[in-house]
Structure formats: C-alpha cells, structure tokens
Amino acid sequence: MEEKSISDIIEKYLKSILEDDEKVEIRRSEIADHFDVVPSQINYVIKTRFTLQNGYLVQSKRGGGGYIRIERVNLIDDVDVLDMLISTIGDSISENDAVTIIQTLYAEKVITHREGDLMLVALSKDTLAFSDRRVADQVRARILISLLNRLRFES
C-alpha cells in the first residue's frame, strides 16, 4: 500500500475544503495543531502545492488575527491572474514549472490534450537543447509567455 506524506495529506485536506468554496481562509496554527505538525509544515505545503501555476492565489496576513487565504482561480477568464502568471514566469522558467502550468491549463479545460502535448514538446529540454541551461530556461519563458498571451484572445 502506498504511504502518503504528511504534506500530501494536508494538501488533500485543504483541497477538500476548496471543493465547497473557491476561497478559504485558514489559520496556519489551527491547521498545524489539527495535523500535529509545526506551522512551517503548513507554509511548505501552501508554498509548493498552492501556487499560481497550479491555479491558486494565496494571500496572507501575519499577526494575532492573521490568516492565509487560498483562492482557486480561473487562469484565463481573469486577465489579472493571467498577468500575474506571466509575471511569475519572468525572464526564465524551468521545464518542471512550465509543465506544471500546462497541466493546470489542461485541468482547467483552457487547452485541449493535443494543445497541451504540443506546448510540452515546444518547451521540452530536448527541443530547447542549448548547451547553457540558463539560455534554455530564458527561451522557454519567452515561448510560454507568447503562448499564454495568445490564449488570452481565444474564445
């Protein structure tokens, strides 16, 4: 039987809450107490599993009345979210991060399976076989941003 890590369990729990609402506010310490983990474990899950590339917008407020707000967003219908995603990509993106974005676009039914496959091929390390990985990551970012900008105009 496959064992799940505590991070997987916390992620599943938070996603189950998000099934009922597209937005949820949590207190990091309460979730940490619930799973008997340190609060930094909750931070780790949120920073790695609830990213804009994965279709989530995260906001936090520190202090006694602080909270973490996680919101499921539609990547293409909301131009501001698309702009933030492009800003997140910046001048360079790894193949793994590009794949995550494409998988999210497919999961959100923004692109078809075929379109996703074509995007993956265009952004793969085999296609962008530069001797310098930094150059490949920069070219990958330019291509992905161009593709995302083109999606903005799809109906």
Q: What is the pLDDT of residues 19-49, one digit of tens each?
A: 888 888 888 889 999 999 998 899 899 999 9
Q: Read off the tokens for 69.
A: 């707000």
Percent of the chain with pLDDT over 70: 89
- pLDDT per position as a tens digit, 115-127: 999 999 999 999 9
Q: pTM of the full predicted structure?
A: 0.62
Quick one: 64 exposed, middle or buried, by C-beta within 10 A (0-12, 13-18, 19+)? exposed
Rg (CA), the chain: 17
Q: What is the pLDDT of residue 78?
A: 63
Which distant-in-sequence residues (6+ apart) come within 8 Å of 13 by Cβ? 31, 35
Q: Which domains does the chain have, with CATH numbers?
A: 6-72 (3.30.56.130), 79-151 (1.10.1200.150)
DSSP H or E run through 71:
strand 67-72
At 1, is the pLDDT very low, low, confident or very high (cuts 50, 70, 90)? very low
- Asked whether residue 129 carries a pLDDT value surpassing 60, the answer given is yes
Per-residue b or e along 21-33, where b marks 16 or more CB atoms closer than 10 Å to that residue's CB = eeebebebeebbe
